[in-house]
Amino acid sequence: MLAPVHLPAPGAAIAASARAALPVLETDRLVLRAPELGDFALFADLLSGDRARFMGGPQDELQSWYDFANYSAGWLLRGDGMFTVTEDSTPVGFIFAGCEPKDRGIELGFMMSAAAEGRGLAFEAATAARDHLFSIGAPSILSFVAPGNARARALAERLGGTLDASSTPRTCVYRYARDLAVLPPEGSA
């Protein structure tokens, strides 16, 4: 496990303050929040095992750290990024809501632990993130799913995604239309 080093510098307090200003999404059972260092253990675990086979993995801890840092940095660099999905304050997965380099649009990605399976948590978390993206002005949203990942394809379809013409033999592209989301009334804060 990579051991984070904490420096007694003002940067740590600034980072905590910035993280507190980021969106927090709440559902009946879940809280989606910005990643924290303690979430890395689950992230690395998910990308080092069999679950990673549809995401270019498995990968080693160092590559997982680079990915974790990249997705987390999106909040600072672009104002979008990865949410840690928590149930009773325990991380159970991750939802990506934003743009990665070379993405063809705004992306909704999902990666959940085995403990989260079979209870509708991925659907609940992804619905909250999808609706959040639409509420801040996304015209449409895409999910990029490996053709062999039947669970992720079923989730994308359950979320209302339709297979996009830009799909390839290596990637199923699901497009979500804005009218799927439960948006706040016009003019509300």
Contact 126, 158 (CB under 8 A): no
Report residue 84 as tokens. Answer: 């840690």
Helices 40-48 and 61-77: crossing angle in degrees, nearest 10, is 130
DSSP secondary structure letter of residue 183: P
- Please indicate, yes or no, whether the overall pTM of this predicted structure exceeds 0.85: yes
Quick one: which of 147, 96, 116 has its CA closest to 29? Answer: 116
Residue 8: CB partners within 8 Å, gap ≥ 6? none
Count CB neighbours of 152 within 10 A.
23
C-alpha angle 15-42-170 in degrees, rounded to nearest 5: 105
Which domains, ranges and CATH numbers included, belong to the chain?
Answer: 10-180 (3.40.630.30)
Phi, psi (deg, nearest 5) at residue 187 = 85, -5
Cis peptide leading into residue 58 (ω within 30°)? yes
Residue 72 confidence (pLDDT)? 92
Residue 12 confidence (pLDDT)? 72
pLDDT tens for each residue of 148-162 = 999 999 999 999 999
Contact 176, 130 (CB under 8 A): yes
Q: Please give the helix or strand (H or E) that residue 143 lies within, else none.
A: strand 140-145
- Give the separation between CA 90 and CA 92, rounded to whole angstroms: 6
* Residues in the chain where the model's pLDDT stays below 50: 189
- Give the separation between CA 104 and CA 175, rounded to whole angstroms: 11
How does DSSP assign 15-71, residue by residue? HHHHHHTS--EE-SSEEEE---GGGHHHHHHHHHSGGGGGGT----HHHHHHHHHHH
Residue 189 confidence (pLDDT)? 47
